[in-house]
Amino acid sequence: MSDLPRKAVTRTAKLAALPLGFAGRATWGLGKRIGGKSAELVGRELQQRTAEQLFKVLGELKGGAMKFGQAMSVFESALPEDIAGPYRAALTKLQEAAPPMPTRTVHTVLAERLGEDWQDLFLEFEDKPAAAASIGQVHRAVWHDGRQVAVKVQYPGAGEALLSDLNQLSRFARLLGPLIPGMDIKPLIAELRDRVSEELDYGLEAQAQQAHAEEFADDPDVLVPAVVHQREQVLVTEWIDGTPLSEVITDGTPEERDRAGQLLARFLFSGPSRTGLLHADPHPGNFRLVPADGSDGSADRSGWRLGVLDFGTVDRLPDGLPSTIGASLRMTLDGEAEAVYDLLREEGFVKESIELDPDAVLDYLLPIIEPAQVDEFTFSRGWMRSQAARVADPRSPAHQLGKQLNLPPAYLLIHRVTLSTIGVLCQLGATVRLRQELEEWLPGFLPDAEPEPELELGEEEDSAAGA
């Protein structure tokens, strides 16, 4: 029997306690202030208690609750600093750790999926998990051929828990909305729910990971561990060491932060062109900063590679990222308001029933794409907060215009990955040459090369004679 709380009534009660707990602590805070404590002190205590409860409930439940917490954690850069502080540590924990399931449960799953003699497949197997995530946990082991491997074991009942949590979370999405200004929580939860079946299928994950491992096998910048073995609810891959991106965010040197940010942008933009797949879960727990071959681990910017984990959620883009994105971005940078507006309307970002001012649309987009306007841009929490505040303020033209724009279903996951990546770059505080990556990997960003002019017959002869 799994330690994952599976009964719907138990899980619903735990999740329902979150908004009730927020309200209860607000009342507790008011009482403390009446009792003489300063508002600032009470506010800090209130935020800390709320952050602790958020991690405790989401972490214990794993499943969809924890998946939601991980998705939210990359957006903490958008929070005002006085609120973000207490939440940052609690949400970051969700990226790397969760309460593990008992050893006996792990052994039961392995016996059911790999056979009663599953231990013969390994020279060593560590019962204590190296990491725990939303639907499974990872154990370090040595495969029978001597390779260091990571063994990912899915929690029994994970699918049922995932759907139950996300359905429950969607019921009070509006209460959670204020955590991230300018972000509509309900579509995020709906999109996570739509991806449940894919994420539970370790066969699909193995295919996506192996495709990346083969494509990036000799890449100097990106390392993807190869798949070793796969069965239902169990995935064995090569092990990679390295510094989790969450640790780079908290303790990394400026050089490490910049290198990690550059490599993250490079991987996420190049992946669809090279594999036809977009890694769609870019939270820091899925990345490592790995010393490059021959490096002594020093902070030399060229001495690091990006290790990439967890391909459970991918967007299948056989033709790469849509060229519409690159073309509209380039035209926005060039100030071509009418052309941008026509393209957005053609692709369904502006519904036919709505008329907008093309210049107003351009003014709405330009601040968002500021990182692509320059050769090098320093991402920061302050910049992220300013963008969130601009879009969230009901009095601002940006807020009103943003409500009128539409996000076509085909772009939903791409949009979330882009926002999440920007969130991580802001957490890193990285200085990134983003424009360089866009020019190399984003279809449509660079205008098509001008065709060579055709020579008249006489000109062709003159040219040949000159040669």
Q: Classify 39 as helix, strand or coil.
A: helix
The yes-or-no verdict on residue 92 having pLDDT over 70 is no
Domain boundaries, the chain: 8-94+160-196, 103-158+197-216+225-238, 217-224+241-449
pLDDT of residue 285: 85
- Helix 434-441 / helix 254-275 crossing angle, nearest 10 deg: 10
* Alpha carbons within 13 A on the beta-carbon side of 432: 26
Q: Which of 80-89, 119-128, 259-268, 346-355 shows the lowest per-residue confidence on average (mean pLDDT)? A: 80-89
| 229 strand-pairing partners | 236
Best CA proximity match to 11, nearest among 67, 90, 64: 64
Q: What is the pLDDT of residues 178-221, one digit of tens each?
A: 444 445 566 666 766 777 778 889 999 999 999 999 999 999 99
Q: What is the mean pLDDT of residues 64-84?
A: 57
Q: Taking the domain 103-158+197-216+225-238, which CATH number applies?
A: 3.30.200
Mean of all residue pLDDT scores within the chain: 78
Average pLDDT of 301-312?
86
What is the predicted pLDDT for the residue at 409?
77
In contact, 167 and 194? CB cutoff 8 Å: no
Whether the predicted pLDDT of 283 surpasses 80:
yes
- Flag whether pLDDT at 430 surpasses 60: yes
Residue 176, pLDDT > 70, answer: no
Rounded CA-CA distance 125/111 in Å is: 14
pLDDT recorded at residue 68: 61
DSSP reduced 3-state for 143: strand
Give me the helix-helix angle, 358-365 and 397-404, nearest 10°.
110
Q: Does 51 have pLDDT greater than 60?
A: no
* pLDDT score recorded for residue 37: 42
| Section 73-96 average pLDDT | 56
Please state, in angstroms and rounded to a whole number, the distance separating the CA atoms of residues 66 and 54: 10
Over residues 153-159, mean pLDDT: 83
Q: What is the largest CA-CA distance in the chain?
A: 98
Is-contact 96 246, C-beta < 8 A? yes
Q: What is the structure's pLDDT at 358? A: 95
At residue 119, the pLDDT reads 97
Confidence bin at 258 (pLDDT 50/70/90) = very high
Q: Which residue has the higher pLDDT, 91 or 332?
A: 332
Task: Determine the average pLDDT of the residues in 57-84.
Answer: 56
Q: What is the mean pLDDT of residues 397-410?
A: 84
